[in-house]
A and B are shown apart, each in its own frame.
Chain A
Amino acid sequence: MAETAANIMNVTDKPFVWTRPVAPGLHGTPGAPGVTALWRENLAFATLTVRRGQEAALALAAAREHAVSLPDGPFAAQGKGHQGKGFVCFGTGPGRWLACSEEATDLAGDLAATLGSTATVTAQDDAYVAFDLSGPCVPELLAKLVAIDLDPTVFPAGSVAVTSTAHMGLMLWKLDADRVRLLVGTSLAASFSRTLAASALEYGFRLEAGRGTGRG
């Protein structure tokens, strides 16, 4: 059942509602949703920061051990992890990357074992929550959230933007032509879900709860 805008945003009889996540389901304009968001807490994350003077050694080790060319900019590259478990890493700043995996159970441990002498590897599994967006109105929604040109000619699949929305840090990652992954800090996920819902209600907004980690 679709909830109306007044329903979902009504705070009068619900104390602390602004700190609660939006409930899964269809919200806003009824019918086929213009935006669907899959809330995921089951991704593994690790940050990689090159050690001083180790740029070339890290690039070599990453290529040799993980068949990945570490991106020299805000875009993603595929890598092969421990036991063939894939990961993606993207640039978040000069000499810094965020690695993300849907398969690895100890991504930071795997990367530290091979790259730990040339880079600082830090587990971030609980640090980020992902919202995978799809649907015909995602471009219109993102136009409200971020002040970045996301036209496919300048922001093709694999592009990443580290930015902020509504004073919350946000990483925007174009997974492919049809899907965008938003990463927000775990402690801001509930607030962000409300920002997302408030912005997407007019298109019809469907929130799906992905598999959680049960942590945090």
Chain B
Amino acid sequence: MRIPCPYCGPRDSSEFSYLGDAAPTRPDPAAPGAEDAFFDYVYLRDNPAGPLEELWFHASGCRQWLKVLRDTRTHLISGAVFARPKAEVAR
């Protein structure tokens, strides 16, 4: 698999580490029902057959988190963008 890093260009997937579905967002621990919300956040994932937006970290390259669109049936990768807006990139 080749991932088109927006900074480095096309790179082999071995340069990246994989986190998974990019959709879940961390709940507010102070909000009511936080315990249930955290259970869902930590354990529950959709398992779609088709395009899925995922988080990949370009560990051997620019050291940025990317959102990569991958088709779970074919491994076809149709795009990758920085996970955070450029002005807020993690250093």
Question: Is B19 an interface residue when CB atoms closer than 8 A count as contact?
Answer: no
Q: Across the interface, do B91 and A92 meet the contact criterion of CB distance under 8 Å?
A: no
Given A148-B11, A149-B10, A162-B8: A94 in contact with B82 (beta carbons within 8 A)? yes
Nearest B residue to A164, CB-CB: B60
- Are B15 and A74 interface neighbours, CB within 8 A? no
Contact-residue size bin, chain B (C-beta under 8 Å from the other chain): 10 to 19
By a beta-carbon cutoff of 8 Å, the part of chain A in contact with chain B is 49-50, 53, 55, 73-74, 91-96, 147-149, 161-164, 169
Contacts of B62 in A (CB 8 A): 74, 92-94, 96, 162
A56 to chain B, nearest CB (A): 11
Question: Given A93-B63, A169-B60, are A147 and B7 also a contact pair (CB < 8 Å)?
Answer: no
Q: A93-B7, A95-B91, A96-B62 are in contact. List 15 more A-B contacts (CB 8 A).
A: A50-B91, A73-B7, A74-B8, A91-B7, A93-B61, A94-B7, A94-B86, A95-B89, A147-B12, A148-B9, A161-B8, A161-B9, A162-B60, A163-B60, A164-B15
> A-contacting residues of B (Cβ < 8 Å)?
7-12, 15, 60-64, 82, 86-87, 89, 91
**Beta-carbon contact of B11 and A163 below 8 Å:** yes
